[in-house]
Structure 1
Amino acid sequence: MKVGIALVPCCQTIQLMIEMQQKIISDNPLVPIWGNINNLPHLTLLQGRFHHPINWINLVYNLQDYWQKEKYLKEFQITQLEYKTPGWYFLKLNNEHIFYDLHNFIFTSVKNLIYVTGEDLKKDISSYTDLEKINYIKYGYRYIGSSFNPHFTLGRIIDNSINNRQSSWKRIIEFFATQNLIKIQQITIYQVGNYGSHAATLYSVNI
């Protein structure tokens, strides 16, 4: 089972993000579709397969302590819509240095426990950058170290012909960003589902 470590917004922000995505997918199909319980909107700090034993509860509390010690912000602004091959659309936030720090803290804590299976290595990674390929082959996840790319995944397009409709998406996202902040509430350990989704929460702690 693949496991992820993520930051998850408060319930109100989740609902507002779901409503925003629904406006976009009304005529622009994307996967996965966000939900209130499964497939939560989230910002992944790390993802992979991990050898046992690993104390997830200690890990989330250590990250919580680190966050509080550093006095990081909990509210963020969506700054842009980013396209990432092959077919992914990401929502980028301000103050990215916070997420880089948190990623490095987590990765340093667990990197020696990560492993990759033969099935993982069958994945087509031809569109990845050279460093992303190295990361994936070694750790089973492309966004590590200097290739870390903090984001909320808006979704992956099903039909490539809709790429020319980005302007309408941007208007929806820009309006959302002027009206709402992304309010982070939880650190979660989650089961990774299809398309990297936050399929189920295994452990969580409020920040």
Structure 2
Amino acid sequence: MTRWLGIALLPSAEHRTAAIHLQQEVGGDHPLRPPLSPDGNLPHVTVFQGPFLDSLDPAAELDRIVAGADAPERITLTSPGVVYQPTGWVFLSLERPALLEKIQQMTVEALAPHLDRAAFDAAKDVSRFSEDERVSFERYGYRYTGAAYAPHITLGRAEETVAQELVRSAPERVHVPGAWVFDRFSFYVMGENGAHAEILEERALAPR
């Protein structure tokens, strides 16, 4: 059976709340989907996600990734602000330090053997993907790996022109914190539009 799962960094409680409020403020009269909440779709930074075979053991793989990451207790990422991503996506863009690149590379190497490649969406419209994104999607079924990795918190999705206008006007309407703190790893079940719908396994970045 195919399971649609992902690994993510989760923000601290303070920044989880800030991300939820930011989604509401950016959307304004045009609520972004799906809605973020503290006990539903959690704000998160995806490291990798996709369709997986039953051979995948989320607990064991997450333990391996945490051990190999050798991360600090908290990771602080700066943000250049809210950005638009085709088609219809509104992202809180984040920096891509070497530590995140290392974590993603380790994660992809660990999980790639368990990917259900038959479940990749061969009909997906990739005409507006960059070349790196097309290569990533073809290889791993996920748009943002390797050179295409783009750390972000997904604020949601809207009709194309609405999303573009929300992002254009965001600097005039919304204060976006310049730094965001993350303190946990999560292995999660994907929901609407790839949302973080349910935690399967959770670990501190630097277990004691």
Counterpart residue number, 1:177: 177
Counterpart residue number, 1:19: 21
Q: Are residues 1:48 and 2:50 paired?
A: yes
Counterpart residue number, 1:189: 187
Task: Report the alpha carbon displacement of residue 200 of structure 1 after superposing the two structures with TM.
Answer: 0.9
TM superposition score normalised by structure 1: 0.86
Deviations 1:81-125 (A, max 9, x none): 222111212212235322211101101112122123357222222
Q: Are residues 1:90 and 2:91 paired?
A: yes
Task: Report the alpha carbon displacement of residue 60 of structure 1 after superposing the two structures with TM.
Answer: 1.6
Q: How many residues in Structure 1 have an aligned counterpart in Structure 2?
A: 203
Mark the runs of 5 or more structure 2 residues left unpaired by the alignment.
none
Alpha-carbon distance in 2 for matches of 1:119, 1:47 = 12
Report the AA paired with residue 24 of structure 1.
V
Q: In structure 2, the residue corresponding to 1:100 is in which secondary structure?
A: helix
Alpha-carbon distance in 1 for matches of 2:118, 2:30 = 34
Deviations 1:41-100 (A, max 9, x none): 100010111223222212222222233x35485222222222211121221223532221
Q: In structure 2, the residue corresponding to 1:120 is in which secondary structure?
A: coil
Alpha-carbon distance in 1 for matches of 2:85, 2:162 = 16
Counterpart residue number, 1:59: 61
1:27-38 equivalences in 2 (<5 Å): 27-38=29-40
Report the AA paired with residue 197 of structure 1.
A
Deviations 1:140-159 (A, max 9, x none): 21112211111111222225
8 A contact 2:79–2:93 mirrored in 1:
yes
8 A contact 2:90–2:163 mirrored in 1:
no
8 A contact 1:6–1:46 mirrored in 2:
yes
Mark the runs of 5 or more structure 1 residues left unpaired by the alignment.
none
Percent identity, aligned pairs only, is 25
Alpha-carbon distance in 2 for matches of 1:94, 1:170 = 18
8 A contact 1:29–1:159 mirrored in 2:
no
Which structure features the higher share of helix residues? 1
TM superposition score normalised by structure 2: 0.86
Q: In structure 1, the residue corresponding to 2:118 is in which secondary structure?
A: coil
- Stretch of structure 1 that moved more, 132-141 or 79-88: 132-141
Alpha-carbon distance in 2 for matches of 1:103, 1:189 = 13
Alpha-carbon distance in 2 for matches of 1:118, 1:153 = 23
